[in-house]
């Protein structure tokens, strides 16, 4: 199998799996129980939180365990909106956010009466700083802008955004960093809130994390328990939370070496794709994560090409997995202002450090073969 969909999810690290299985077997106790076995699990979980804080360079009490990146995004956006509604009801985000951010903002608009502005982006998915400046208002309470786009891989200059927001000290800055963790440099000092997910870095599905600066207050979305500093009630998924720290540590090991390899794969794949007839690359190298390349096979239905590759045991995607069943053409690709034939034929490949040059060669071979066969049937 050749797997080229690491932006959707990643294979579970064997060491993480072994630790998780051991915890499930021997430390299944409720972390809120008052007997020793439960207290031991609680200590393990707090140790994980402490290690995560060290690796992310923040205080451990600023980290909230969630069930996934989508929950972290919802908790950040709705938690801020409800907490600070007395200051104003204006929110700014972008038109190319992950659906968990975009739909959370839409819900705040349609159900709770907030006003949301969606920033425009250029054809590569990068946000317009001028547009941000123009849309900021005295009643703006939240700006949510993703770090790395999940479909085209473009990243935003969070430091430049933070600099603009310094003139609006009451505005809270959230960033969806799910695709950024261990892919690009992260500095939590420039944001107030940031969302992460473990299964994008060879961890467990159902495992997320929200960074919340200690100066920020959130309204809880799940009431009924004192867990996670009274912000997220419910029985802690302690075993899952405990292995998050190990997941991140393993993902960060040999960071420079892994990044160098992925960068090489990116360059190599770009060159190979450029040589193919009818193929254009939508991801700009200079402003994107090395882990993602979005390209279009102009005039071809991406699902046809995807399934042709799948028949040869090669797996990639046509868009974000979280919206793959709801949209005929990706909302993100539409927002880039691309021609219809490019936007409607877009596909995404995403690398891991395990991906090899030989796998890329095989992918390119079968992609070329699929294009030729499909072209002949026209």
What residues are annotated to the active site? 322
Q: Which helix (H) or strand (E) holds 94?
A: strand 90-94
Nearest to 355 by CA among 311, 307, 316, 328: 316
Cα–Cα distances in Å, from 350 out to 154, 293, 336, 342, 366?
13, 6, 19, 19, 17
Cα–Cα distances in Å, from 234 out to 32, 63, 80, 199, 203?
10, 16, 20, 21, 22
Cα–Cα distances in Å, from 333 out to 127, 152, 253?
14, 8, 34
CA 52-55-61 angle, to 5 degrees, is 40
- For residues 277 and 369, the answer to whether their CB atoms sit within 8 Å is no
- For residues 320 and 186, the answer to whether their CB atoms sit within 8 Å is no
Dig out the tokens for 62 from the structure.
């600023």
Q: Tell me the pairing of strands 208-212 and 193-197.
A: antiparallel
Beta bridge partners of 315: 3
Torsion angle in degrees (nearest 10) through CA of 206, 211, 214, 215: -120
Torsion angle in degrees (nearest 10) through CA of 249, 323, 174, 139: -170
Cα–Cα distances in Å, from 66 out to 28, 205, 218?
18, 11, 14
Kindly give the residue spans of alpha helices, DSSP state H, lying in the chain.
14-26, 36-56, 69-83, 99-110, 129-135, 158-165, 227-230, 238-252, 255-274, 302-310, 331-335, 340-343, 357-377
């Amino acid at each position: 199998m050749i797997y080229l969909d690491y932006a959707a999810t990643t294979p579970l690290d064997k060491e993480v799996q072994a630790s998780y299985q051991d915890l499930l077997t021997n430390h299944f106790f409720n972390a809120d129980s008052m007997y020793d076995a439960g207290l031991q699990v609680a200590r393990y979980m707090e140790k994980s939180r402490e290690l995560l804080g060290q690796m992310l360079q923040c205080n451990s009490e600023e980290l909230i365990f969630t069930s996934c990146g989508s929950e972290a995004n919802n908790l950040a956006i709705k938690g801020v909106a409800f907490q600070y509604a007395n200051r104003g009801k204006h929110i700014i985000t972008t038109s190319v956010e992950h659906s968990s951010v975009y739909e959370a903002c839409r819900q705040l608009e349609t159900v709770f009466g907030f006003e949301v502005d969606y920033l425009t982006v250029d054809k590569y998915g990068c946000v317009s700083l001028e547009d941000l400046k123009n849309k900021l208002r005295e009643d703006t309470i939240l700006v949510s802008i993703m770090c790395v786009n999940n479909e085209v891989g473009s990243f935003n200059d969070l430091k430049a955004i933070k600099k603009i927001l310094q003139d609006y000290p009451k505005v809270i800055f959230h960033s969806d960093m799910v695709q950024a963790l261990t892919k690009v440099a992260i500095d939590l000092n420039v944001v107030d809130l940031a969302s992460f997910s473990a299964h994008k870095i060879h961890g467990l599905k159902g495992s997320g994390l929200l960074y919340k600066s200690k100066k920020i207050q959130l309204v809880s979305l799940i009431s009924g328990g004192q867990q996670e500093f009274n912000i997220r009630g419910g029985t802690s998924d302690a075993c899952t939370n405990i292995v998050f720290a190990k997941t991140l540590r393993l993902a960060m090991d040999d960071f420079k070496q892994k990044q160098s390899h992925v960068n090489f794969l990116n360059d190599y794949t770009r060159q190979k794709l450029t040589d193919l007839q009818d193929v254009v690359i939508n991801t700009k190298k200079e402003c994107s994560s090395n882990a993602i390349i979005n390209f279009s096979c102009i005039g071809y239905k991406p699902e046809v090409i995807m399934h042709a590759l799948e028949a040869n045991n090669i797996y990639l995607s046509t868009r974000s997995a979280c919206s793959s069943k709801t949209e005929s053409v990706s909302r993100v690709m539409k927002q880039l202002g691309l021609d219809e034939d490019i936007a409607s034929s877009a596909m995404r490949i995403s690398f891991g450090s395990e991906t090899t040059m030989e796998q890329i060669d095989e992918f390119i071979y079968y992609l070329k073969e699929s294009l030729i066969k499909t072209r002949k049937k026209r």
